[in-house]
Structure 1
């Protein structure tokens, strides 16, 4: 029990703290930016203005453009043309160190290179904005800005279809590089820094993205918080169950040695010697199990879970975390075992030798309220005997119920998470999105092409774009969904019921409303990423979506606000496999649900492990308490045997009591597990 409790606690804890340790170390080594300032053209004057701000510690500009690599599947490659490499640095794994003077080389995403069987020394070409450049691969590695990334052609990281590349500004085909991003390091919080930007440079840039809102950072941070929530609660329950079971086990072991203690006292052994013997017995066993759990937990469990994470997150290493609570829990288990042994042994040692040699006097149970009722005599002997035995041994009964309840709680909570994932998938891909195909459109597609595609597939146009929303001093990134009389996309409320958003209304998602602290009737401001035009609108409705957070408006409302409607996809109720000019990729509903399952796979690993350990723990708890129950009533069983009770009847007595406690614990544990 000591081993299992400490093993689960430290193993899951090491994984949870490992997330923080990994990201903190990696971001520190690469000097991840505190914020990103986006503008159409960042010149020297703009850089000087930013550097003159009192909070700015350092800055570095670069050009980020989307390109297509020269492969059959046209993978999306994000190119970074750097003026320097001190902030958000390229993390080199193979090849030469990044060289700003090298205009002929490229430092490539190692995950993309592995997917395409590329290595240092190979050539690769990229096409962007009507230009094509061919460069030699000088190095392979990682980027802190691309720890998590997806492309328009994939819902989950697929490194065969996407990647990034770092190049010197000298590699850009034109001498005058139109830098569009300024990376900044600053003192203080992001809100104050953004206020300084708004006060001094409000017309010189389009948007500011603090680290907490950067898609890659935010995704990994959300993953970390999810793991912390799961590992902060359930492993603690494991420890509590282990301690309670340890309490009953050590008590049973020492009470079972009652006669031996009496014999030792009669032979002249001192009380101190006897107590030291039995305390050391519990101490050394639990110490060995706890230390073994402390060592093996962090060594074996985190690698299992990190292996699943490695498919989603591009990071050069995973670190196993450590926290002082691991040592505290281990010491607590050992001290608890010693104290339990001490108190259990002290009660026996303080008795005389002749008293200790004799069996312990059974507890006397007085008649209670139930036993004085007329219905009492109608109960069977089995029921009456077990009821009175439970009254005599209230602590054992309580431990049995609590142990089963806690194990049930963990198992139900674990499988509840699985059901929750399935419900979210059904909500997203049945209740809200109920199309069969989604055609993602290219940025430069014409209106006539969109109309032709929509007519040909019998589909509907849909606009989805990244936006920035703020209310007061709170600013969040989200998505605007613009509906054009869509039947295949249906907004829902918290209960998954369809809601209607009229042509003049603005609806905000539940989670976004909570983050901004707004409700129906409040006013929010927002702008589409890449545009510096802020729009002020009133919240008319609140909808719920398990994945997409932001606002929903109609095409008519967008026009009234002075913004252009640009369809980003066409959704159809038919299966589409035809290639169209202007279409980036086609998602079928099956591919979307498969991608969802792939994303949930890492969380499912934790759930499976928790359920397995909870099942194992429940078996140990029931076995221990059943053995304790038999040990405490074996004299009563012997008496019943003499009175003529058959072995089958005695087994039924014990089984009935265990079933009672198990049922009560199960009934209490199920609703608690659903709440967790």
Structure 2
């Protein structure tokens, strides 16, 4: 006897060892649930802490604003706004690049640095090299990701078209800034470090290059703690409006920060939804195991009570059994969670450029995971434990009452002549224990549900790509101008080599108001007969631009709480800054952002301007695309060029590694549920029916027939549970998509038949492997020993 352990504790250890296979199966499911929670919350903590430290150390601004051209003395007026602590003006421009060994046109955003020293706000973390010399106008610092993707180093030269003039720039430093953790080029949805980078150049050099002497086109502010940022934004807009201000915004709407926030919200949603499925299944399995154990130990319970043990001691004994099973799973879940967290953190480190993004232990995640797991175990075991405690000694010493064999309507099925005897035994056992059958059915369905609810995201990505790159965008290239230009600029582009069709487009910043709701958006003006950029309704039909009114994305319509036929007030933040009441003529489906659309002619009329565009979509002759790329680079007035083929390639390359890793993780954890459920059910059935199965072997049934009787029930349950799981998976996909929707993008609920098939295959495969472990025990049954069992 082990010292310090009571007889009940020794019995507990023996029970756990005797049922070690089932204990391990339940522990694996608990471990997966805890691991997902630890991974999600731990990665969330890592991202949040690392980002906040980065922002604080390198002074990420609170408010941002862009203007067309404002004199430097306006900065003093901004500083006079109550609550504003720091003001830094600068010049920010897009340029086109020529990079050696890169065929496609690349783009960069050049940000000015003070002529002396470092920036006050949005400072640079310098990894290599130095700052540009004030008297060296062609020296630049480039972003670290861009340098790595193009194998650039300090001392290398890169060509850039600045205001229509080709210049050779020398790289003297490599660094990053908190402003560009997630750097997106013009017209792109994911970072493409090979074709888009951030450059920093001295202010005087940029003033000369872009004819902005003594002026700025971008400003950053910080505000004192407790200051109402919305008030500061309104007052800053009033100051900057006469100079072409396009509307100030706080850091929550800053593109890079918004993407990081969106990813953090998704991690939080994952931690709330997915672990719950695992823990519910584990609770059901623990309930089944304890019920069977208590039925087996009825006489032992009677003896224990006869020796004076109280109800509370017996209840606590069986609760400890559930807690012990779960505790092992929790510890394993912590270890697995740390591994997954490290893996996911490394993936994020490649996407989000945050220095020192290394995983850290999140105490709250550990405590929350342990409490959730132990709470589910206690909930699952409580009724069985209380049932054991309520047994009187006299009642417990007697065998369990026999099962009611009344067949009722079932007899008509069992009497069908085409049914063989093993199949009749299977059906009789299924309906004899409906609660247990339902529990097994729930477990299988839950495994399929979880797999579909996670794997659907890859179908959603394919659907998003198809919508963004093919159904709504038929263009091959998108061109952005520095400033809005006369419609003749589109005709000029159409004459470039390789251009087959050109359509103008205009984007204007605006604030849309409906009641007390207000959203800052960009309204896109498209030609009424646009073919290169189309919009889709929720049912997949193309929507033509109406001659009057505005078309809203479903996300934006929901944020403004409007529908078709309602009116929104548009405060245009460009040109003459008109204010107009616009009827909502259509609601469309856009997965990314919160766009709004108008007819281009109606937009220019609203702005009281002649036909004007801010960019163009182009259809190219694939045989002459290289000619187009060479000719467009040096065209004056062009800020950026993006090619659809390059965007698709970048999208696929960026997601490929992540998709394979995440699919592997989801397949393993979904299979773990199925394997645990099937193994547990088969072991319980084997324990209960060992005497019956041994008797059948003695009567002449073969091992295969006995195995069929044991596992046929589980096969039927699996075949019924998989379709139910498919229905639940689609429902879970809707829940996850709704919970993860943000202003930046929404996940369409697309579940392909292939995903249903993969989920079913994973469950069937894992179930088969688990069942084979049990079948091995059937073949090794000691027939004489089993027949001597009194049970």
Q: Same fold (TM over 0.5)?
A: yes
Counterpart in the other structure of 1:90: 124
For residue 605 of structure 1, report the CA deviation from its aligned partner: 3.9
Matched, 1:195 2:234: yes
Query: Which of 42, 54, 63 is the aligned partner of 2:91?
Result: 63
Which residue of 147, 158, 164 corresponds with 1:113? Answer: 147
Q: By how many angstroms is 1:525 displaced? A: 4.9
1:401-412 matched pairs, under 5 angstroms: 401-412=441-452
Does the alignment pair 1:623 with 2:679?
Answer: yes
The alpha carbon displacement at 1:284 in A equals 4.8
Q: Separation in 2 of the partners of 1:332 and 1:451?
A: 63
Tell me, in whole angstroms, the C-alpha distance in 2 between the residues paired with 1:107 and 1:264: 78
> Are the aligned partners of 1:558 and 1:565 in contact in 2 as well (CA < 8 Å)?
no
TM-score normalised by length of structure 2: 0.73
Secondary structure at the counterpart of residue 207 of structure 1:
coil
Per mean C-alpha deviation after superposition, the further-off stretch among 244-253 and 215-224 is 244-253
Aligned-partner Cα distance in 1 for 2:381–2:542: 62
CA deviation digits over 1:380-419, x for unaligned, max 9? 5666655553455344223211111111101122332222
Structure 2 Cα separation of the partners of residues 471 and 350 of structure 1: 65
| 8 Å contact kept, 1:206–1:532 | no
2:666 matched to 1:610? Answer: yes
Q: In the aligned structure 2, how far is the partner of 1:85 from the partner of 1:634?
A: 78
**After superposition, where does 1:430-445 map in structure 2 within 5 Å?**
430-435=470-475, 437-438=476-477, 440=479, 443=482
| Deviation at residue 646 of structure 1 after TM alignment | 5.5
Which of 502, 513, 525 is matched with 1:471 structurally?
A: 513
Task: Tell me by how many angstroms 1:492 deviates.
Answer: 1.8
Where 1:364 maps in the other structure, the secondary structure is coil
Partner of residue 365, structure 1:
404
Query: Distance between the aligned counterparts of 1:136 and 1:281, measured in 2?
Result: 69
Q: Cα distance 1:481–1:14, how it changes in 2: closer, same or farther (>3 A)?
A: farther
Taking a change above 3 Å as real, the CA distance of residues 130 and 571 of structure 1, as seen in their structure-2 partners, is closer
- The equivalences for 1:68-467 within 5 A come to 68=96, 71-72=99-100, 75-83=106-114, 85-95=119-129, 106-120=140-154, 128-129=162-163, 139-152=173-186, 156-169=190-203, 176-186=213-223, 187-198=226-237, 202-203=241-242, 205-249=245-289, 252=292, 283-284=323-324, 286-297=326-337, 299-320=338-359, 322=362, 324-334=364-374, 360-361=399-400, 363-365=402-404, 367=406, 370-371=409-410, 377-378=415-416, 385-386=425-426, 389-390=429-430, 392-435=432-475, 437-438=476-477, 440=479, 443=482, 446-453=489-496, 457-463=499-505, 465=507, 467=509
Secondary structure of the corresponding residue to residue 397 of structure 1: helix
1:410–1:464 distance in 2 versus 1, CA, 3 Å: farther
CA contact (8 A) 2:65 2:248 kept: yes
Task: Say whether the 8 Å CA contact 1:488–1:573 is kept in structure 2.
Answer: no
Tell me, yes or no, if structure 1 residue 26 matches structure 2 residue 54.
yes
Which residue of structure 2 lines up, in the alignment, with residue 542 of structure 1?
587
Q: CA contact under 8 A between 1:37 and 1:183: conserved in structure 2?
A: yes
**Structure 1 residue 68 displacement after superposition:** 5.0
Q: Which shows bigger deviation, 170-179 or 564-573?
A: 170-179
2:618 aligns with 571
- Alpha-carbon contact 1:506-1:541 (below 8 Å) kept: yes
Does 335-344 or 224-233 show the bigger shift? Answer: 335-344
Going from structure 1 to structure 2, the CA distance change for 1:486 and 1:335 (only over 3 Å counts) comes to closer
Q: Provide, for residues 628-672 of structure 1, a one-character-per-residue CA deviation record: whole Å limited to 9, x for no partner.
A: 122223334445556666655443333332133223322322112
Residue range with higher mean Cα deviation, 285-294 or 164-173: 164-173
How much has 1:608 moved relative to structure 2? 4.0
Q: Distance in 2 between matches of 1:513 and 1:311?
A: 34
Do 2:284 and 2:439's aligned partners in 1 also have CA atoms closer than 8 Å?
yes
CA distance in 2, matches of 1:333, 1:470: 46
- Flag the 1:670–1:135 CA change in 2: closer, same or farther, 3 A: closer
Could you tell me how far 1:514 is from its partner in structure 2? Answer: 1.9
Equivalent residue pairs, number: 669
Q: Call closer, same or farther: CA 1:366–1:532 in 2, change over 3 Å.
A: farther
SS at 2:220's partner residue?
strand
After TM superposition, the score normalised by the length of structure 1 is 0.83
CA distance in 2, matches of 1:335, 1:567: 59
SS in 2 for 1:402: helix
1:85 to 1:334, Cα distance in 2 relative to 1, 3 A: same
Counterpart of 2:718 in structure 1 is 662
CA distance in structure 1 between the aligned counterparts of 2:112 and 2:263, rounded to whole angstroms: 30
Partner of 1:632: 688
Structure 1: stretches of 5+ with no match in the other structure: none
